[in-house]
A and B are shown apart, each in its own frame.
Chain A
Amino acid sequence: MISIKNLHASVDGKEILRGLNLEVKAAEVHAIMGPNGSGKSTLASVLAGREEYEVTDGSVSFGGKDLLEMSAEDRAREGLFLAFQYPIEIPGVSNINFLKTALNEIREYKGLGPIEAKEFLALVKEKQKLVELDGKLTGRSVNEGFSGGEKKRNEIFQMAMLEPKLGILDETDSGLDIDALRIVANGVNKLRTPDRSFIVVTHYQRLLDYIVPDFVHVLYNGRIVKSGPKELALELEEKGYDWIKSEAQNVEA
């Protein structure tokens, strides 16, 4: 699905990712954990194509294609979806118009005609249920006046509508109370299919109680320094990151 090799990336001349390797296969869920400033959100941003990040070395292959050569919109059209940590409010652009435009541009990229209005509305109705999103919210401007929880649910709703191959959740749990967290996680779980993978970037183990990963990776200083089964997340929750840091430093020394 996605193969990241020796990825180096910097922002404003400061190197954040320093040789990151990650291989995600179809249907797998990989959790990326790590202390603040380790590069978790940078990884999500670089993969989604944020232009302020400069990739200085390494490669990313997505579905056999060179991801780093693609514009942000082409990455989305190829099936990469980033659920934003801080979804943007866009007054004046209705959720519906936004989604329809996105869906149709993705379809056009794949050589398909625009979706029928009736089919689109049925799809909206069906997918809203996944994250228990109020129908009224979809009629409003993108994220405008949404609560923190509603914004995150809207991200998952968009993911459900666009049906990506790879979903990257960037700290989707941040700012969510336990009920909202459960709704969001349930939504994601319903989207797990044999041909869809997820990279779940999170600071806390809590989300992983709901979205159970196949692998857990610890990112530190721009590199994955430890990988393991889902139990690794529990261990991190219990022991914190300090032991990882000292392990990593010993390796470097």
Chain B
Amino acid sequence: MNAVAENKLTSRLLNGIEGKLPSLSGDAQLRRKALAYFQENGIPTRKWEDYKYINPEGLFRIGEFMSNAPVIREVSQLDVDRMTVIPGAAKLVIVNGVFVPALSNLDRIPQGITVKSIADAVVSDEIAKKYYAHQANPESDSFIAWNTAVSEGGVFVHIASNTQSEVPIHILHIACNEAASTFHPRNLIVAERDSKAEVIESFETIGPVKTLTNVVTEVIAHTNAHLDHYRLQVEGIAGHQVNTTCVAASKGSNYKTYTFTVDGAWVRNNLNIVFTEPHTESHLYGLYLADKNRVIDNHTIVDHTVPHCMSNELYKGVMDGKSTAVFNGKIFVRRDAQKTNAYQTNRNILLSDDATINTKPQLEIYADDVKCSHGTSTGRLNEEALFYLRARGIGERSARKLLVRAFAEEIVNNVPNEAVVAYLDNRLNHIMA
């Protein structure tokens, strides 16, 4: 696509935004800056190295997600109650990119945790103002820029110092409309020093109309903060998503993140973690299950800018049908980041001849006293194991399920939340059904 056509696409996407911009809350200058970046760079095409396998521009070229139609479809409490159930969680519901307190159960929010609409927080909350657009640089990526320019809402979750919360904060994103649309939810999570909390984001859709959710979540983990952060991506076959999570982790903090993509038509995850102080730790787990024509792309960056930090990444995928998956894991170990421990593993199983995986570990190491490893493997289910199970009376389908579940075991074993484990088990059980 040439530059003129590109600009045309971008201006169509931004049709009406000029009139709307003054009514959007927050830093108008920031929005202008983000808008300018997006207008200049546009939607990534297959020529962009980081997007070459999934070609986002192709989604828009055919005129989908262009609609600026008002949202008509109402989301009811009944809809919400049917979705991802995390027992005991404080549920924060975001419908089409806007936080809806009436559908949320704010009464369950534990002491020490504050939840606000991000649209309000960026105007009235000093902490939110300080960290908003701090980690997700709108001039680094088109999708961040687009979100920053036009986002209308989302949540700000603040976890106060010394808070030790056992209550999961469940951010439930729902996309649904009567015309194909794009939504831009925006979240900010700030975990203050010595706090411990669990945030579960889940992504769902209602109905057959195509939606694209371009969500950006920023996470600030202060000194000694322990945060378990989940993404359960279970959108329906009409669901498309670009999910950007940008994390800054301070000394002694332990950010654990779990990205489970088990449904949806087209999913791109950008997970970027920066260690800003020494003695910091992060664990990244991912499981992606794709069948039919689904596309799942996981891009991760762990940036070791300082010494004595540890990162451990394990992503596993199972692809069936004509699905496509991408794993691209970048680890930077900067010159000053001595005594770094950084590990990365990506393993894949292809269940069909037509499924594709593009996997690329990318380690860039500029320090000399470090321990780093990476490994990747792609294969099929072990035929010998399959025969062994069948020779005991286990039908082929059940045998394959057992082996897929066994493949996922390494990930599932590391998931502390039992409701999430049960949820994954259920999905794993259905993948080949």
Chain B associates with chain A: yes
Any B CB within 8 A of the CB of A92: yes
Any A CB within 8 A of the CB of B70: no
Any B CB within 8 A of the CB of A87: yes
CB contact list, A61-91 vs B, under 8 A: 71-73, 75-77, 81-82, 84, 87-88, 90-91
Q: Which listed residue (B384, B390, B407) contacts A72, Cβ 8 A?
A: B390
Q: Provide the residues of chain A in CB contact with B395, threshold 8 Å.
A: 73, 105
Q: A84-B388, A88-B385 are in contact. Are A98 and B402 (CB under 8 A)?
A: yes
Q: Provide the residues of chain A in CB contact with B392, threshold 8 Å.
A: 76, 98-99, 102, 158, 162
Q: Provide the residues of chain B in CB contact with A49, threshold 8 Å.
A: 390-391
Contact B388 A87 (CB under 8 A): yes
Contact A73 B394 (CB under 8 A): yes
Q: A92-B405, A93-B402 are in contact. Are A101 and B390 (CB under 8 A)?
A: no
The complex places the Cα of A142 from the Cα of B389 at a distance, in Å, of: 10
Q: Provide the residues of chain B in CB contact with A50, threshold 8 Å.
A: 387
The complex places the Cα of A72 from the Cα of B405 at a distance, in Å, of: 22
Contact B403 A101 (CB under 8 A): no
Contact B384 A76 (CB under 8 A): no
Q: Provide the residues of chain A in CB contact with B384, threshold 8 Å.
A: 88
Any A CB within 8 A of the CB of B406: yes
Smallest CB-CB separation from A50: which chain B residue?
B387
The complex places the Cα of A141 from the Cα of B410 at a distance, in Å, of: 12
CB contact list, B280-331 vs A, under 8 A: none
The complex places the Cα of A203 from the Cα of B235 at a distance, in Å, of: 58
Contact B388 A101 (CB under 8 A): no
Instruction: Give the Cβ gap from B109 to chain A, nearest Cβ, in Å.
Output: 37
Q: A88-B384, A88-B388 are in contact. Are A109 and B402 (CB under 8 A)?
A: no
Q: A90-B385, A92-B410 are in contact. Are A77 and B405 (CB under 8 A)?
A: no
Any B CB within 8 A of the CB of A106: yes
Contact B390 A92 (CB under 8 A): no
Any A CB within 8 A of the CB of B22: no
Instruction: Give the Cβ gap from B428 to chain A, nearest Cβ, in Å.
Output: 12
Contact A109 B388 (CB under 8 A): no
CB contact list, A29-52 vs B, under 8 A: 48-51
Chain A count of residues within 8 A CB distance of the other chain:
32
Contact B391 A82 (CB under 8 A): yes
Q: Mark B394-433, 1 if CB is under 8 A from A, else 0.
A: 1110110011011111100000000000000000000000
Contact A101 B402 (CB under 8 A): yes
Smallest CB-CB separation from B407: which chain A residue?
A92
The complex places the Cα of A98 from the Cα of B388 at a distance, in Å, of: 11
Q: Provide the residues of chain B in CB contact with A82, threshold 8 Å.
A: 391
Among A76, A84, A90, A106, the one with the most B-chain Cβ atoms within 10 Å of its Cβ is: A90
Q: Provide the residues of chain A in CB contact with B379, threshold 8 Å.
A: none
Contact B409 A105 (CB under 8 A): no
Q: Provide the residues of chain A in CB contact with B398, threshold 8 Å.
A: 101, 105
Contact B394 A90 (CB under 8 A): no
The complex places the Cα of A228 from the Cα of B402 at a distance, in Å, of: 44
The complex places the Cα of A106 from the Cα of B394 at a distance, in Å, of: 8
The complex places the Cα of A81 from the Cα of B388 at a distance, in Å, of: 11
Any A CB within 8 A of the CB of B19: no
Count CB-based A-B contacts (< 8 Å): 77
Q: Provide the residues of chain A in CB contact with B406, threshold 8 Å.
A: 90-93, 141
Contact B390 A73 (CB under 8 A): yes
Q: Provide the residues of chain B in CB contact with A103, threshold 8 Å.
A: 393
Q: Provide the residues of chain A in CB contact with B385, threshold 8 Å.
A: 88, 90
Contact B410 A71 (CB under 8 A): no
Q: A50-B387, A72-B387, A92-B409 are in contact. Are A77 and B402 (CB under 8 A)?
A: no
Instruction: Give the Cβ gap from A183 to chain B, nearest Cβ, in Å.
Output: 21
Q: A73-B396, A98-B392, A105-B394 are in contact. Are A90 and B403 (CB under 8 A)?
A: yes
Among B387, B393, B399, B405, the one with the most A-chain Cβ atoms within 10 Å of its Cβ is: B393
Smallest CB-CB separation from A107: which chain B residue?
B393
Contact B405 A76 (CB under 8 A): no
Q: Provide the residues of chain B in CB contact with A93, threshold 8 Å.
A: 389, 402-403, 405-406
Q: Mark A130-165, 1 if CB is under 8 A from B, else 0.
A: 000000000001100000000000000010001000
Q: Which listed residue (B382, B389, B396) contacts A98, Cβ 8 A?
A: B389
Q: Provide the residues of chain B in CB contact with A109, threshold 8 Å.
A: 393
Q: Mark B42-82, 1 if CB is under 8 A from A, else 0.
A: 00000000000000000000000000000000000000000
Q: Provide the residues of chain A in CB contact with B409, threshold 8 Å.
A: 91-92
Q: Provide the residues of chain A in CB contact with B393, threshold 8 Å.
A: 73, 76-77, 102-103, 105-106, 109, 162
CB contact list, A4-57 vs B, under 8 A: 48-51
The complex places the Cα of A105 from the Cα of B398 at a distance, in Å, of: 9
Smallest CB-CB separation from B409: which chain A residue?
A92
The complex places the Cα of A87 from the Cα of B392 at a distance, in Å, of: 12
Instruction: Give the Cβ gap from A186 to chain B, nearest Cβ, in Å.
Output: 22
Contact B410 A90 (CB under 8 A): no
The complex places the Cα of A141 from the Cα of B391 at a distance, in Å, of: 17
The complex places the Cα of A51 from the Cα of B396 at a distance, in Å, of: 13
Contact A102 B394 (CB under 8 A): yes
Among A84, A92, A97, A101, the one with the most B-chain Cβ atoms within 10 Å of its Cβ is: A92
Q: Provide the residues of chain B in CB contact with A48, threshold 8 Å.
A: 391
Q: A90-B385, A92-B409 are in contact. Are A72 and B403 (CB under 8 A)?
A: no
Q: Provide the residues of chain B in CB contact with A102, threshold 8 Å.
A: 389, 392-394
Among A48, A84, A102, A158, the one with the most B-chain Cβ atoms within 10 Å of its Cβ is: A102
Among A82, A84, A93, the one with the most B-chain Cβ atoms within 10 Å of its Cβ is: A93
Q: Provide the residues of chain A in CB contact with B403, threshold 8 Å.
A: 90, 92-93
8 nearest A-B pairs in the assembled complex, by CB-CB distance: A92-B406, A92-B409, A76-B393, A102-B392, A72-B390, A106-B393, A88-B388, A73-B390
Other than A88-B384, A101-B394, give 6 A-B pairs with Cβ distance below 8 A: A50-B387, A73-B391, A92-B406, A105-B393, A105-B394, A142-B388
- 28 A-B residue pairings within 8 Å (CB atoms): A49-B391, A50-B387, A51-B387, A71-B396, A72-B387, A73-B394, A73-B399, A76-B391, A76-B393, A87-B388, A88-B382, A88-B385, A90-B382, A90-B385, A90-B389, A90-B403, A91-B409, A92-B409, A93-B389, A93-B403, A93-B405, A98-B389, A98-B392, A98-B402, A101-B402, A102-B389, A102-B392, A102-B393
